[in-house]
Structure 1
Amino acid sequence: MSKVWMRTRGWVRRARPLVSLALVLAVLAACAPGPGSERADIKIGVQGPITGQWALEGLGFRNAVALLADEVNAQGGPLGDGRSIVLVEGDDRGDADEARRVAERLIAEGVIAVVGAYNSDATAASAPLYDEAGIIQITPSSTATDLTQHGYSRFFRVCYLDDRQGLFVASLMATELHVKRAALVHDGSLYARGLADWTQRYLQEQGIEVVYFGAVTPGQRDFTPVIQALDESGAEAVYFTAYWREAGLLVRQMREMGVDDVRFLAGDAVNNPEFAQIAGAEAAAGSLISTFPLPRDLQSPEAVAFSSAYEARYGEAPQSIYTLMAADGFRLLVDAMKETGSVDPADLAAHLHAIQDYPGISGPIEGYDEKGDRIGAGHVVYVVTEEGDFELFKP
């Protein structure tokens, strides 16, 4: 475990009898490490699903931030004054109730900022608590558009929004795939339902008829009713907006039931190598995934350096773009500390709102708007090959 994963310990040193009580109290007051103290280490939270069905993503968060925190600490800390960054981990398992408990604990631990959470439901549950406590939250991966509609002044995200992804997919279906009748399937989560709603809106604006709009349940294993409805709807393509495990089972069962003439598309939460493993390469072949670039396809100096260091430390290259986005969230915080000379969340947030053309590991970050949303858009499409690999789609 990285040396940066620590918990602070309090202690009381008994005063010698000859030392005056006033002197003892003065020394203790001067040395007590309170918030913003120049002698206190700097606590940053890392929140995500370290265990559970999305642990692959949460572990990527943790690994990325731990790697970079060790590098910063080895250089004397973010402010060069010897103060180290101490990471405080919070495993929310991707669950909203657990996310609230994690947020309460991290706030009590005294973190000044949090990198996380992974899924939009967990982020929605924790964001009000961090906002009330005056703590910065940077999510690498929570794309639900609604998250930034609540007036939070210290909330940011490295990923792009679902309304932009919905527009991107609708344009793809209309101009490249020439779809006339489409189906949408979500899982009821804030992310998946929101992406489905936005996509439906933009499909209709493109003149594409949405002939089926349905839902599955997280953890569901038998998709027969949904597949039958898809087959009967006359849809030429289905866009699945939930997560990779259910997506893999759904497309596998579609092909097993002989539903081969419905093109399978999915959103960024299916950008995971386990999708093709669960579906089987033959069933997954030809599926299109709207997402952000895979780490291996990013060749900027920042991306290459990070991926090389990650592989040297953990024995494998980062598999998920959200690992790189977690790294960017942490780097943004550290650079804000360096530029402002402060660990005050208000100062750091003001700096983040003002950045322009930041050289991110996950790609250039043009800047942030007043709501904390990343400016611009950066979606791409991958096609699953017959071998189960992801390749950039070239119509």
Structure 2
Amino acid sequence: MNQHMRPEPVPFIDIAAQRRRLGKTIDEAVARVLAHCQFINGPEVTALEAALAKFSGARHVVSCASGTDALLMVLMAKQVGPGDAVLCPSFTFCATGEAVALTGATPVFVDVDEATFNIDAGSLTRGIATARHRGLKPRAVIPVDLFGQSADHDAIAAIAASEGLFVLDDAAQGFGASYQGRRLGTFGLATATSFFPAKPLGCFGDGGAIFTDDDGLAETLRSIRVHGQGADKYDNVRLGLTGRLDTIQAAVLIEKLKIFEDEIAARNAVAARYSRGLGNLVTVPRLAPGCTSVWAQYTIRLPQGVDRDGFAAALKAQGIPTAIYYTRSMHQQTAYRDFPVADGGLPVSERLSNDVISLPMHAYLDAPTQARIIEAVRGALSA
């Protein structure tokens, strides 16, 4: 096939289509910041926090520099540190366990549910026992709302309450989703999210936020965000970070939040088309009862015996990108392989790392382009 005949490549996430839809609104929002020059803690930061609180139902929103900082700041506020254990799923992006390790505490990795990819309650219970057996003090659990679907927050809350742990919800991929009719942001002690550009609600750089109903925690987080400052900026009352969200990013997010609900509906329509088109060929994602997803990724599992690299190459030749989240679960990665895992091992996480692959997913994936992707998947599987 000569170069001119190559199929037009499909974007994995189409940020440009969203940019066209928003037209000049973001340009104008950024221009307002460039005019007032309050690049740190400008008025847009406060306005965004209020808009996010209204959207999520959380009493307090503390914006910050990234999703990783969001997790780390909550752990710092709760004085989690050496000798403490924090339970995390292994099948997640490394930031979940990284934030724990950065405090000096020990991440203890637990397994996930095969159908939802989210933390498995039985493995969580075993992980808590493993931590205690090792002489660690279990302090917290960080469930992850992976690929956009809410974790089973009732089951997690029940275990956490009986074991004396606090819950820090990692909604870096799940903000905008709901559980039992309530939006994420109001479960557990606090919820962390990310506004990385590829996320369903993303800015044009790094950004994040923490949601909580706890007044004291919110106050501490605002101090940690600025080097641990007290009433006087030169009397720092605790260790902190440079954890602020840029005013320009807040301005971008204010405009994007206005169309977010519409985009979530579009993402769900895209997921439904994939499910109809591929459900008889591959294992498609399944929503648990009472859960919704914002479909940060559309992750399928290939049938046993299918060569994943060959499958990806066949799609790439058709101009269709894929991605693998995650080729290695956290407990299999060099920096994390010496941390404890729940008794019984993490067989599901290991299986998923071997057979998952993600297809293009965004709010602007039109039906003809999606039909082309589905056709290419069918072709690659029958080759």
- Normalising by the smaller structure, the TM-score range is 0.3 to 0.5
Indicate the structure whose relative CO is greater, using CA pairs within 8 Å and at least 6 residues apart: 2
User: Larger C-alpha radius of gyration, 1 or 2?
Assistant: 1
Instruction: Tell me the TM-score normalised to structure 1 length.
Output: 0.32
Instruction: Tell me the TM-score normalised to structure 2 length.
Output: 0.33
